[in-house]
């Protein structure tokens, strides 16, 4: 019964006899959103993001009214969600659009943070130069790792890239241990970034820019090629898409965006930790796109919102949480909750939250479930 429920929503909106073969929940989420495409729906596509952006620009003022003195503290938490949204988008471009089930993004997340810490704090290089080098390093690393990784597909790719994460995490821990530290503190950050408001606006601007670019990238030749190879590799190849080149491009773009999220995350927390390259972090990335909606830009935002809120809510609890004889570290609890969210999402709304919303939207417009 549960299996049936997982499969059936995938067929939604597909009236043709030849439903795609081998479609998996991870790679089909965008269909519902795209299925509502066409010129009639330009309004929500342009207006909703714009309204959202304006709301986010005004958010600090709203927080002043709501929280008074603790407004900056609350804003700091929202900043995290925006950073996570970039990481979710990175995973989504690679997995939700280009259909590569890579679990390796957490490796780039940690590496870029450590590079920033090393260049900026230890080598005393300017912050922006350090960020730039970290991103370039991610691109290079993505290119080097992506080639061999993408020569295998499906589960093999997932396992190989997960191995990369574990390896990276171990190396970063080794670095920390040999340098005699718990985590890598960022001690030479520009003073302005210490201000929660400045950081918020910087991250907001970068997130908006990244999403804007992604929106247009996905409607370009490159984005079409990614979606095409997701929908049918054979037909994409027959159209003359050089599959390996476009998969690698998705891998590198995803690595750079994850690297950007990594440096911002380290800046936000003023520290880089080896746990940024961990299986837990991978699960968090995965949860964001599955819960939010694979193959959906709005899904990346929604996923980041949910994944970002969980630790914030759990942060109110004492750590470790004592339940009778049980002593639960909050980190373990967080990953456990991500697992439950993943499971629930896959069972009840495989298209992610974004598909739930767009389905609702279409019901309101009286179109029913069918395009």
Partner 1 sequence: MLQVEGLRAGYGPLEILHGVSLEVPAGSLVALLGANGAGKTTLMRTLLGLLPARSGRILFAGQEVERASVERRVRLGLGLVPEGRELFPSLSVRENLLMGAFTRRGRAAIEADIERVLTCFPRLKERLALPAASLSGGESQMLAIGRALMSRPRLLLIDELSQGLAPAIVESVLAVLVRLNRDEGLTILLVEQNARKALKVASLAYVLQSGSIVLQGRPDDLAASPAIQHLYLGGEAKAGGPDEENLDARSLVRGGLNKEARGEE
What is the Cα–Cα distance from 304 to 87, expressed in whole angstroms?
8
- Cis omega (within 30 of 0) on the bond before 320? yes
- Where does this chain touch partner 1 (CB under 8 A) — which range of 69-77, 124-132, 141-149, 228-236? 228-236
Provide the minimum distance between the beta carbon of 70 and partner 1 in the complex, in angstroms, as a whole number. Answer: 44
| Binding status of residue 323 toward partner 1 by CB under 8 A | no
| Binding status of residue 62 toward partner 1 by CB under 8 A | no
Work out which of 17, 68, 191, 323 binds partner 1, going by CB under 8 A: 17
Phi, then psi, of 224 in degrees rounded to 5 = -60, -40
Work out which of 50, 242, 344, 347 binds partner 1, going by CB under 8 A: 242
Task: List binders of partner 1 among 282-301 (CB under 8 A).
Answer: 295
What is the Cα–Cα distance from 257 to 237, expressed in whole angstroms?
27
* Of residues 7, 49, 366, the one with CA closest to residue 215: 49
- Where does this chain touch partner 1 (CB under 8 A) — which range of 14-22, 58-66, 269-277, 298-306? 14-22
Work out which of 2, 21, 326, 364 binds partner 1, going by CB under 8 A: 21
What is the Cα–Cα distance from 254 to 105, expressed in whole angstroms?
8
Rg of the chain's alpha carbons, rounded to an integer?
Answer: 21
Work out which of 2, 3, 4, 16 binds partner 1, going by CB under 8 A: 16
Residue among 174 and 239 whose Cβ is closer to partner 1: 239
* Of residues 122, 104, 92, 87, the one with CA closest to residue 168: 104
| Binding status of residue 240 toward partner 1 by CB under 8 A | yes
Task: List binders of partner 1 among 35-54 (CB under 8 A).
Answer: 35, 37-39
Show the CA angle centred on residue 292, arms to residues 346 and 72, nearest 5°: 140
- Token duo for residue 365: 């417009």
Q: Which residues bind partner 1 (CB under 8 A)?
A: 13-21, 28, 30-31, 34-35, 37-39, 221, 224-225, 227-228, 230-232, 234-242, 295, 370-371
């Amino acid at each position: 019964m549960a299996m049936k429920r997982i499969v059936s929503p995938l067929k939604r909106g597909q009236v043709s006899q030849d439903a795609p073969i081998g479609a998996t929940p991870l790679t089909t989420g965008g269909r519902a959103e795209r299925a509502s495409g066409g010129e009639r729906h330009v309004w929500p596509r342009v207006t909703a993001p714009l309204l959202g952006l304006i709301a986010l620009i005004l958010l600090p003022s709203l927080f002043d009214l709501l929280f008074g003195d603790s407004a900056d503290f609350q804003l700091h938490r929202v900043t995290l969600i925006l950073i996570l949204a970039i990481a979710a988008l990175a995973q989504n471009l690679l997995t939700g659009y280009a259909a590569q089930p890579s679990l390796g993004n957490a490796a780039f997340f940690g590496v870029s943070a450590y590079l920033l810490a090393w260049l900026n704090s230890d080598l005393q290089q300017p912050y922006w130069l350090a960020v730039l080098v970290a991103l370039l390093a991610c691109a290079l690393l993505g290119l080097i790792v992506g080639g061999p990784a993408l020569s295998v597909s499906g589960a093999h790719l997932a396992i190989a890239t997960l191995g990369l994460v574990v390896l990276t995490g171990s190396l970063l821990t080794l670095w920390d241990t040999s340098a005699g530290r718990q985590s890598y503190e960022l001690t030479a950050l520009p003073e302005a970034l210490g201000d929660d408001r400045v950081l918020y606006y910087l991250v907001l601007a970068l997130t908006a820019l990244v999403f804007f670019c992604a929106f247009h990238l996905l409607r370009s030749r490159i984005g079409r090629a990614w979606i095409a190879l997701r929908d049918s590799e054979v037909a994409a190849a027959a159209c003359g898409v050089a599959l390996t080149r476009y998969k690698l491009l998705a891998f590198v773009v995803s690595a750079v965006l994850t690297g950007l999220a990594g440096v911002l995350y380290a800046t936000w927390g003023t520290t880089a930790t080896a746990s940024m390259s961990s299986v837990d972090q991978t699960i968090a990335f995965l949860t964001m796109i599955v819960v939010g909606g694979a193959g959906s830009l709005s899904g990346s935002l929604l996923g980041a919102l949910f994944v970002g809120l969980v630790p914030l809510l759990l942060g109110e609890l004492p750590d470790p949480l004592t339940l009778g004889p049980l002593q639960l570290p909050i980190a373990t609890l967080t990953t456990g909750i991500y697992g439950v969210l993943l499971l629930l999402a896959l069972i009840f709304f495989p298209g992610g939250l974004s598909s739930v919303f767009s389905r609702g939207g279409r019901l309101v417009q009286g179109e029913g479930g069918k395009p």
